């Protein structure tokens, strides 16, 4: 036991003291937020705005009507152009227009849907994101023309345009918010995905480096291969847990400072307000506690398999990629199951995907923010945890059998078939 503790201590301190760990712990949340908001900002600033000329032969679209619509959207412009301009159709781009539409003479508000297709004539292709705003603006013009033709007053028009909106009222949890639960579900699922892939790969690469540098031979002379593997897995798992707890502590710190301070800027107030909404709508301690369990259990489940692969490969990294591909695909498949599970957290797909060990760390953590035990009954949570514990105990045993042979084998390219033989060899 002391030898395992020494290995855990070595693996933990070696990685925590690295500059990459410190920088990653601080920068990852900032980079993640920057990725979310930055991509949206860049997309908004770089989107293409079109100037479209309209040649109205029907006489339905007037200057005042088009001017009123252009006022609501100053980026995408529609301008009425006389039909008799010489050479317009050939040279509209040189006049500053990206395209033009022609409204035929027989066009009227009683025309059927099939006859209402309007061609946007251009000299180059545009994406859907550029065409959609123009289509919405034309539909807004068409709606106003139809209402005027029917003689609708503004009061009647507001009645026709009114719509019903639904908001879920959870009678067992009045503070439940589906929007916040969805965001937290996605955040937990993707965070689990990154941790399993990142630190699982670290286990594999660490084992491979020790094997190729012959350090493993020296260590194995003092400890058993199983002790070395378990110590390495637990040590790196504690690194992942430490990083997660630091992020959680930062969130609590921001929340408490913002709550006690009355003099904050608008942006800070908004961030604290969103965090406060999370605290009131989601049982934070349940989410954090379950995340820690699924983080460690899921990490042990996958990292033991990554350790087995690391012990079997030599210096060729292509071997690592090919052997680790099935395990990586299980994690990616779990992310694919997460999206429909969040869309309907009580469906049979969500329930079974959150119980099966290989997908439960990601899918169950995506369901838990929706409520325990209302959405996720206690029996489902308990069964999921029990099966995951049984799963990582099996994968640890299975990987240890491969590890004991692979860590001392050199020069031979292994396969999964051969590794399975190692596992069941007496």
What stretches of 77-224 show up as alpha helix (H) in DSSP?
Answer: 88-91, 128-150, 154-161, 178-212, 215-220
Long-range contacts of 333-337 (CB under 8 A, 24+ apart): 333/359, 334/193, 334/358, 334/359, 334/361, 334/362, 334/363, 335/189, 335/190, 335/193, 335/362, 337/362, 337/363
Bridge partners (DSSP) of residue 397 are none
Instruction: Tell me what pLDDT residue 375 has.
Output: 84
pLDDT for res 113 = 47
The pLDDT value recorded for residue 283 is 73
pLDDT tens, residue by residue, 269-304: 444 455 555 555 567 778 888 988 998 899 989 988
pLDDT at residue 286, as a whole number: 85
How much is the pLDDT for 298? 92
Q: What is the mean pLDDT of each run of 10 residues along the chain (426 residues)?
A: 79 80 72 64 72 86 81 78 82 88 76 64 82 84 78 72 67 64 86 87 81 69 75 84 80 62 47 51 77 90 87 73 87 93 91 94 91 87 94 87 76 76 76
To the question of pTM greater than 0.75 for the whole model, the response is: no
Instruction: Provide the 3-class DSSP secondary structure of residue 39.
Output: helix
How far is residue 172 from each of residues 168, 179, 181, 373, measured CA to CA in Å? 12, 17, 15, 10
Which pLDDT score is estimated for 264? 46
């Amino acid at each position: 036991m002391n030898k395992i503790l020494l290995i855990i201590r070595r693996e933990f301190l070696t990685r925590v003291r690295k500059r990459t760990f410190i920088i990653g712990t601080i920068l990852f949340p900032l980079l993640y937020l920057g990725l979310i908001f930055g991509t949206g900002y860049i997309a908004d600033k770089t989107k293409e705005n079109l100037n479209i000329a309209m040649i109205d032969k029907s006489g339905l679209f007037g200057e005042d009507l088009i001017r009123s619509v252009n006022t609501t959207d100053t980026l995408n412009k529609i301008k009425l152009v006389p039909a008799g301009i010489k050479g317009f159709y050939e040279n509209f781009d040189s006049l500053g227009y990206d395209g033009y539409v022609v409204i035929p003479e027989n066009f009227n508000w009683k025309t059927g849907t099939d006859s209402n297709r309007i061609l946007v004539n251009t000299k180059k292709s545009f994406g859907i994101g550029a065409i959609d705003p123009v289509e919405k603006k034309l539909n807004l013009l068409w709606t106003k023309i139809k209402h005027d033709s029917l003689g609708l007053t503004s009061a009647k028009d507001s009645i026709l345009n009114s719509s019903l909106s639904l908001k879920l009222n959870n009678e067992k949890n009045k503070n439940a918010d589906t929007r916040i639960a969805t965001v937290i579900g996605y955040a937990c699922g993707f965070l689990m995905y990154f941790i399993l892939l990142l630190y699982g790969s670290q286990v594999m690469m660490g084992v491979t480096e020790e094997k190729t540098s012959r350090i493993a031979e020296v260590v194995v002379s003092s400890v058993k291969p199983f002790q070395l593997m378990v110590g390495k897995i637990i040590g790196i798992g504690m690194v992942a847990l430490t990083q997660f707890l630091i992020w959680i502590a930062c969130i609590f710190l921001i929340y408490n400072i913002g709550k006690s301070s009355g003099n904050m800027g608008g942006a800070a107030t908004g961030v604290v307000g969103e965090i406060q909404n999370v605290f009131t709508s989601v049982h934070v301690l349940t989410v954090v506690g379950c995340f820690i369990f699924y983080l460690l259990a899921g990490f042990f489940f996958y990292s033991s398999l990554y350790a087995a692969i690391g012990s079997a490969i030599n210096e060729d990294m292509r071997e690592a990629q090919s052997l680790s591909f099935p395990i990586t695909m299980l994690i990616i498949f779990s992310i694919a199951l997460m999206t429909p599970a969040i869309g309907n957290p009580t469906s049979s797909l969500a329930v079974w995907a959150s119980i099966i060990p290989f997908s439960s760390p990601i899918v169950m953590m995506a369901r838990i923010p929706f409520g325990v035990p209302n959405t996720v009954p206690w029996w489902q949570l308990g069964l999921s945890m029990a099966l995951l514990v049984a799963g990582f105990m099996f994968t640890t045993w299975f990987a240890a059998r491969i590890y004991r042979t692979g860590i001392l084998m050199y020069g031979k390219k292994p396969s999964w078939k051969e590794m399975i033989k190692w596992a069941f060899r007496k």
